[in-house]
Structure 1
Amino acid sequence: MTRRHLGIAALLATTILLTGCGSGGSPGAAGSPSASATPTAACPSLEDVPDSERDCAVYDPDTAMAENERYREELPVDPETQVELDALVEPARRALEALTPPATVEDVVAALADIGLDESSIQTMDNGTGVLFGAFAGGGCLTGFVAPDGAVTVEAGGLIADGGCLAASGH
C-alpha cells in the first residue's frame, strides 16, 4: 500500500470515527452549538505547524505505515513444531539447489512436493527476479527464494498474521 493510499485510508477511518463527536450539546439536542470545531479531515503531523493550530485530525504517517505492515508479522510456533519444520529445511534446500537455473514456479512446486509437502499448500510468486515460495508444513511454514542463478534460501517459522505462508503481492 502506498503512502497515498495509506493517507486516504487514514482520512476515511478518522472521518468515520469523528462523525458525531464533539457536538458540545446535550444528548438529543439537535443543532446545539459546538464549543469548538470538529475536524472533518485527517492530515499528517508537520514539525513546523503545531497540531493545536490545525483544523484537522492529525495523525503520524510513519506510525500508520508501521501499523499497516503488521499483517506480515510471523506468528510464533511451539518448540516441537519448530523442530519438525527445521528438519525440512535441508531436504528442501537440496531439492531446490538441484533444479536447473533459472527455476520456474512449476519447478519449485515439484521440488517441494518431492520432499513430501502437499502441492496445494505451496504458494509461489515470480516477479521476474526469482521465485518466492511459502509452503504450509505441519503447523508452520517453509519460506524462501530461488534466484535465477540457482542460489537458494530456505527458512522455517510460523504463519504470517495475514494467513498463509507468503505475503500477497502488492501488500
Structure 2
Amino acid sequence: MFRGLLFRLVERGLGTYAALALSGVLFGAMHLFNKHATLLGAVAIAIEAGGMLAAAYAADRSLWLPIGLHFGWNFAESGIFGTEVSGNGATHGLLDASTSGATLITGGEFGPEASLYSMLFCVLATIVFLRLARRRGNLVPRRRAERVDALATLGR
C-alpha cells in the first residue's frame, strides 16, 4: 500500500524525494498503534522501512524488492532471532534471544528496529538504493520545478 500506491502517486506530482519522505513518515506513524509503540520506534520505522523500502522500489521499479526486504527483515527478527517486531509483542523464533542495555542501543520494548544501529544501517542502505536509482535514471524530479523552467523558456 505504501510503496505500490502512496509512493507512486505522490512521486508523480512531487518527485521521488518528497514521495520517499511523505510515505516514510506515514509508514512510521502507522506503527504508533502497535502494542509497545514509542515515538522513537515510529521515527526509526519511518527512516528504516519507510526510507529504505521506498528507495529500494525507486532503484528497481519493482515491488518485489521492497516486499522481499520487508519480509526478510521481519522474518529474521521474529522467526530466527525471536525478538520483538515493531512493538507487536514477544515472539518465539529459532533462537531464544534476549536483549539488555540502553534503549537507544537495543530498541527497548519496541524491538531492534528502534535501535541506533538499525537506523544507521538502513540510512546507509537507503543512500545506496538512491544512488542506484539515480544511476539507472529512476529518480523522478519535482513537477513544479519543470513547470517553472518551461514557463521561463516560454517567456524568452
TM-score, length basis structure 2? 0.27
Q: Structure with the greater relative contact order (CA < 8 A, sep ≥ 6): 1 or 2? A: 2
> Which structure would you say has the larger Rg?
1
TM-score, length basis structure 1? 0.25
